[in-house]
Amino acid sequence: MEIRFHFSQPGKVFRFLLFAGTCLLGLPHLAVAQGSRGRVVALETLPLVPPVGDIHRITLSGSLDQGGEMVLDGNQFSSADRFGDFQTSTAAFYPPVAVQFRYVDLPDSTGARRKVYEIVGAAQPPKTRYYLVSPSRKSGNYRLIIDQQGQDRRVVSLEVLPEPPTPSERLGRILKVDHALLKTNPPTLVVKVTGQANTAGWSEPKLARRVYVKPPADGIWEFDLFATPPPGNPPPAVSKIEAIYRWTDFDPATVKGLRVYGKDDGVVEVLF
């Protein structure tokens, strides 16, 4: 049996020879990035004015060919200072959601060889799509395209972060959920959760309230306990971690209880 390979471009010959050589020599296969598909990105918008629904800032990190994470930040921001910097006026934690960057085969009429990717998997507002535009290899900035039905298309510049943010993970087990109602106007619900990890060195615990389009019908609001894992391979050790969430716009009429999720050991539910 005779097998023939036909390549229309010299670059394809190089990629094939590299693949064949690594297979014959028993070396790990090296992926050859085409265009911008192999890039690792760590990008963030400035505060969005006006916001997209309740989203005031968007952060993207990961690999354009392997996928990554997207943070839809609902924290509000103060006005810019003289350096153009913004400060958050709220401090809620919004967990990242896993996304894929789906390549869209669109020719660049400017000849700049830019690439367009649809961001798939984000818990985005209804009838909203996000697209990432990557620059050519030589120069240019990343852009975020926001398509909302019934509105003009928005183009937002993305700033390159100095390094990708350290991803947070759910704690393996939820041990205890405490809550207290402060008689402020409006009332403030303080939720304290204790979780357990199987190694030492976890940091930056965060208790995140899940975002709903409509309040849950049963009145049970859901939370997730996150923390940043230690680097490397720490030895096994049982460690406890606590996080507090202050619900300042708490409405007692729509909340009947709390449900807090860990990664492994079930769920803890508290009814009022």
CATH assignment of the domain containing 191: 2.60.40
Angle subtended at Cα 197 by Cα 230 and Cα 41, rounded to the nearest 5 degrees: 40
pLDDT surpasses 60 at 235: yes
Do residues 152 and 176 share a domain? no
What gap in Å lies between CA 193 and CA 206, rounded to an integer? 10
Residue 12, classed as helix, strand or coil, is helix
Do residues 45 and 140 share a domain? yes
Strands (E), 64-142: 67-73, 97-104, 115-120, 128-134
Query: 20-24, 159-163, 190-194: which range is least confident on average?
Result: 20-24
- Per the structure, the complete domain to which residue 209 belongs is given by 169-271
pLDDT of residue 13: 43
11 in any annotated domain: no
pLDDT exceeding 70 applies to what percent of the chain?
A: 79
Residue 56, classed as helix, strand or coil, is coil
Q: How sure is the predictor about 34, in pLDDT bands with cuts at 50, 70 and 90?
A: very low
pTM beyond 0.85: no
Do residues 196 and 245 share a domain? yes
Residue bearing tokens 């998997």: 121
pLDDT of residue 12: 45
Do residues 175 and 116 share a domain? no
208 in any annotated domain: yes
Do residues 50 and 138 share a domain? yes
Do residues 208 and 267 share a domain? yes
Domains in the chain: how many in total?
2
Higher pLDDT, 144 or 35: 144
Do residues 145 and 185 share a domain? no
